[in-house]
Chains A and B, each alone.
Chain A
Amino acid sequence: MPAEVTRRRFLLQTLGMIGGTMVAGDLLPLLAEAAKRKQVLRVAIERDFETLRPELSAGDTINMLRRLIYTTPIRWGTKQRPDGSLIYDPDTIEPVLASSYKVSEDRQLIEFTLHSNAKFANGDPINAQALKDSYAWFLATRGSGQLRVNGLPSADRIEVVDDVTVRLNLDRPVAWGLIGNALLSSSSIVHAKEILKHATADDPYGLRWLETKTVESGAFVIETWQKGSMMSLVPNPHAFQPAKLERIILQVVPDASTRRIILERGDVDFAVQLATKDIPDLRKVSGIRVTSYPSARGWWLGMTWNKAPFNNIHFRRAMAWAMPYDKLLQVVTHGLAERSRSCVPNNISGYVGDFWPYETNLEKAREELTQVQMPDGFSVTMPVYAGDLFDEESTVLIKESLTQLGIKVGIQKMSIGQKRSLMTQKQVDRAVYDWRPWVPDAGYFIYWNWLPDSFTNYWNYANPEAQTLGNESITMVVGSPERQAKLRRFQEIVNGDIGLVPLFTQFDNIAMREHVQGYVYYPDTVPVLAKMSLA
């Protein structure tokens, strides 16, 4: 029997229909969109990719792309933290292109067995010869300082045993020899034969072609690249390990606050390089997962050893006492960092925090300064990378502290290009700066920073005993008691000299939508997007 049509029933039914239509109108496209976006990972990145050349290593963005389009023989293993998040395991190695590997007892021979069905994006096999060609191309372009450092100075040290077996004969054992030669950027596998087809008389290694074109060896291939705007990647049809994602869209969003809000509203699944100041608020947003990882990205106050008063130990001690350590942690990093107490960053093998007794104490700083010849007072200019909040705010707080000691500090803002250049050319007297080792090992960090001819020994530090210890640690076994003892002594010496003033080691804060799975934190903080998926 049909229900009686009353005025109330009619009104309710009409409103219900209108409401239902409106909800469906709003909801259905969203559901359709969600279905369409299934396994399409949208990532907001800070800037466009500069090049497809894998031998250049500037910037996290290009490194993220490199991990997608170029494979490597191995990568770090993974372990789970108590909160369920995944992090690299420095004690295990995960085969990628190599199905297995062996390292000889004297650590000078590394042998890889490759997957027999590995192919480049154009279908050519990635066999032992292709691997050797790739290494040889890197060495020929002189593009890889890393390989030489890691005991592989020339291609004749690479031996093709059979179609799937390659041996690397290192000229010396290197503590990070396996990682350095098979995991870092210099081990990215390129299609050397294809690249060399585009070589010209003034470009004998096809570098110009490789700037914008390539033949991928990794899990994903470039589908479209709208320069300055976005890149879309799809799975490599010849990949031997199928990817879960159907597409990855890397969208350039230069402004950090914009990256944050589009993540909040769900227009991207993952945003990189978010401002640390936004992290506490982002934690409160539902649908977003923020994880902080203890990193090896250390921040320091560096001072030159080339001139007075910076090379005066009393002046350096005064600086160590004068630093506003707690304020830096609270104001600059919003508590998302930890105190650093050594000339090497925290959270790496060999770090020792026992040789840094300095806390903020302006009285002790004044005492030290009385022993320094500064009759007319002292002033110094510190270059600051405009746009880096850690750099800017740290320098301002340090200035405030030093002003209380009668030291005038001028701040000169400049681009990252200018600051980095001036520091590498050793033209800066003093500056706040950061450095992150890609291999979590104190010896590796020392190699790049503390030896007299280290590329980023910005301050010209030299100490014969420390130099000997640093050099010895390069060839010893990571984690061995002898090496740990040498690294400990090294830090005792350099921290005693106040080689520089350790300020803090920041956390890496990674934010993504909750439906993103499979993120693993690596020491260089560059994600392997190919391993990720959407729930």
Chain B
Amino acid sequence: MGIMSFVIKRLLWMVPTLFGVSVIMFCLTILIPGDPALLRLGNFATAEQLQQLHIEMGLDKPSHERYWLYLKGLVQGDLGRSWRTGDAVTNNLKARFPATLELGLYSTILSILIGIPIGVVTAARKDSYLDYGGKLYGVLGVAMPLFWLGLILVYVFYYLLGIAPAPTGRLDMLVAPPPRLTGLYVVDSVLSGDMEALWSSISHLVLPVMTLTFIVAASIARMTYTSMRRVLSAQYILVGHAYGISPHRMIYKYALKNALMPVITFVGLQIGFLIGGVVLVEVVFALPGIGRYAVDSLLVNDFAPVQGFVLVVLVVYLCVNLLADVLYGLVNPQVRATME
């Protein structure tokens, strides 16, 4: 019950947070100079045509009225309309979210599976070549620009070696998408038994996931390393050694469990970085996700999609962090007690 009320309380706190962010976003869009109608019309336009388009796009209304309309829609789940795509932002985000989710999900899972073992092993073998290698990877991973890494991987694996598919989205051009069940092509291909789409979607995910994983796993590895080093120098570990418990058992049964506490929170916080990274990776690999949707919209002053993107990302971020806190509570009885 304690955890449940904690979750409900946190969920309720999301409402004012979302409201505050929606106000800030709306104010920013007003402050950013630029008239989207002008862009939509192109060079060959007339003043009359411009006026007409202002009315059609609702730009003739005062700002407070536009915000009120936006807020009314928001309460009903309507994130507005994108003038660039001519469609409801909610529809656009729904169509594009699976591409982002697929990329983000696999990258997160792989980052955890790679980052934590590297952190543990390097911490356990201090001052060995493994330790130096792990540290070097940590520095490289944190320092390397994501965009650049993506381009290099494309250059090497696609252009030079020819073993990766062309970075042209989620599938080969001549492969039809699987029937939409979840929107995740890998899952949908498996469920529908479409092997061609399965192979194509997996092969198109390899480089983007590698790009994100390389960077995110490095941060997780560094965090795990620091946490493990702290735990391994604790007195109870020394006592354990003195009792003759094997190093392997000490590390994986006793030290790791305690070292993982801050790592769980860190992974939750990494979601923010991951979403930022997803935007860049989607541009490099031509993936039609919500990140690229937001960037493309921002460049042409189409602000409803940007507002929608920020709100969706915020909800995801808050939910993941809530989940991390709950997990933290489940793993650590002390924290659980404070929740209760």
Contact = CB atoms under 8 A, between A and B. Distances in A.
Interface of A: 36-37, 40, 42, 44, 47-48, 50-53, 56-59, 141-146, 148-149, 184-185, 207-208, 211-212, 224, 226-230, 249, 251-255, 257-258, 261-262, 264-265, 267-268, 387, 414-418, 420-422, 424-425, 427, 435, 438, 448, 453, 455-456
Contacts of B159: 261, 264-265
B46 A455 contact: yes
Interface of B: 32-36, 38-49, 52, 56, 83-87, 92, 95-96, 151, 154-155, 158-159, 162, 166-170, 173-174, 176-177, 283-284, 286, 288-289, 292-293, 296, 298-301
Nearest to A184: B44
B95 A58 contact: no
Contact of A416 (B39, B151, B176): B39
Contacts of A52: 86
Given A57-B41, A227-B95, A418 B301 contact: yes
B52 to A, nearest CB: 5
A42 B173 contact: yes
A253 B166 CA distance: 10
B298 A455 contact: no
A227 B96 contact: yes
A265 B293 contact: no
Given A261-B158, A420-B34, A435-B43, 15 more contacts: A42-B173, A44-B168, A50-B86, A51-B86, A56-B41, A56-B42, A58-B39, A143-B49, A146-B44, A230-B168, A255-B284, A268-B168, A417-B39, A448-B44, A455-B43
A53 B85 CA distance: 11
Contact of A228 (B151, B166, B174, B293): B293
A424 B47 CA distance: 11
Contacts of A456: 43
A75 B173 CA distance: 31
B35 A421 contact: yes
Contacts of B86: 50-53, 208, 211-212
A145 B40 CA distance: 13
Listed from nearest, the 7 A-B pairs whose CB atoms lie closest are A211-B86, A228-B288, A145-B46, A417-B301, A57-B42, A267-B166, A421-B34
Contacts of A141: 52
Contacts of B292: 228, 254
A211 B87 contact: yes
Contact of A420 (B38, B48, B170, B288): B38
25 contacts: A37-B174, A50-B85, A50-B86, A52-B86, A58-B39, A59-B42, A142-B49, A143-B49, A207-B56, A211-B87, A212-B86, A228-B288, A228-B292, A249-B173, A255-B286, A258-B284, A262-B166, A262-B167, A265-B158, A416-B300, A418-B33, A420-B38, A424-B38, A427-B33, A455-B47
Contacts of A148: 46
B154 A417 contact: no
A98 B330 CA distance: 75
Contacts of A208: 86
B29 to A, nearest CB: 11
Given A228-B96, A418-B32, A251 B173 contact: yes
Nearest to A57: B42
Nearest to A262: B166
Interface centre among A50, A184, A185 (most CB of B within 10 A): A50
Nearest to A47: B296
Contact of A448 (B39, B43, B48): B43
A421 B39 contact: yes
Nearest to B52: A142
Contacts of A224: 176
Given A50-B84, A50-B86, A261-B155, A420 B166 contact: no
Nearest to B167: A258
Nearest to A49: B85
A62 B52 CA distance: 21
Contact of B40 (A42, A56, A142): A56
Contacts of B85: 48, 50-51, 211-212, 227
Contact of B38 (A211, A254, A265, A421): A421
Contacts of A262: 166-168
Given A36-B174, A267-B166, A417-B301, A253 B286 contact: yes
Given A145-B44, A227-B288, A418 B174 contact: no
A230 B169 contact: yes
A212 B38 CA distance: 21
A212 B95 CA distance: 14
Contacts of B38: 420-421, 424
A455 B43 CA distance: 7
Contact of A251 (B34, B43, B168, B296): B168
A57 B39 CA distance: 9
B315 to A, nearest CB: 21
Nearest to B166: A267
A47 B282 CA distance: 13
Contact of A418 (B34, B42, B52, B87): B34
A386 B284 CA distance: 17
Nearest to B293: A228
A149 B46 contact: yes
Contacts of B298: 415
A497 B282 CA distance: 48
A253 B40 contact: no
A255 B301 CA distance: 20
A425 B168 CA distance: 38
A373 B142 CA distance: 53
Contacts of B154: 258, 261
A144 B49 CA distance: 7
B34 A417 contact: yes
